[in-house]
Amino acid sequence: MNHYSNTLFDLEGSTALITGGSRGIGLQIAEALGSAGARLMLTARKEAELEAAAAHLKNLGIDASWIAADSSDPSEVQRVCSKTFDTLGHLDILINNAGTSWGASAETHTLQAWDRVMNLNIRSLFLFSQQAAVGSMIPRKRGRIINIASIAGLGGNPAPMECVAYNTSKGAVITFTRALAAEWGKHGINVNAISPGLFPSKMADGVIAAFGEERIISTTPLGRLGDPDDLKGAALLLASAAGKHMTGHAIVVDGGTSAVIGA
């Protein structure tokens, strides 16, 4: 039997830090990387959610530790990365997933809310990537950084959805990914992004309710929302040897929504 495909996606011996790893997309990716053999460090703000996530992963036979921290705070980012290096020994994979949104029209959007979204959705990606690269990836001449963007980063929103800061931040994530890939390829670091469509989650449930699940499904070519397994394949591809010649790209996982004009 040919086990070549299994070897390509094998992460045995690898380590990964996942921001926003306690639930939703972050936890889905944690399940994927951990099941492929990676040892994990999860970080998010709420200790109780992190503890529950780590227990869930351990029940699946996955080695998972956690650190509660605010990813928008530069000093907290440094603390998380230092503890990750101490606990895991080195860092092979960084999943920049932590993010937030804010619903408001552009004319009423407050500067405080704008900064909140930008600080977590894009500044934290720069901070975590810099710490991961300088502290482990550049010295070891290897690393994978996967940024979680969104199809919202590809343009604006249909009415009645208004979240200009979120869309702007996710567009910045895509450009940040390309710029970092171009700069850090010489260090053996692959930098890519995943741009999900709508997946039921604490952040997306309000959007789904506002548009109506049936309306969303009717404009999605595959006729469904994303489920708890739909991002695992893309994450494994970008984190493993299977994606070793991919860098600077954003893989869209949205059931075809972004392919439909006017959707």
Give catalytic residue positions.
166
User: Which among 25, 76, 77, 85 has a CA at the least distance from the CA of 53?
Assistant: 25
Here the tokens at position 227 are 């489920």
Q: CA 147, CA 120: separation in Å to the nearest integer? A: 12
Strands 143-148 and 189-196: parallel
Strands 39-44 and 64-68: parallel
Here the tokens at position 209 are 């309710």
User: 194 and 146 in contact (C-beta within 8 Å)?
Assistant: yes
Name the β-bridge partners of 144: 93, 190
Residue 157 Cα to chain centre, angstroms: 21
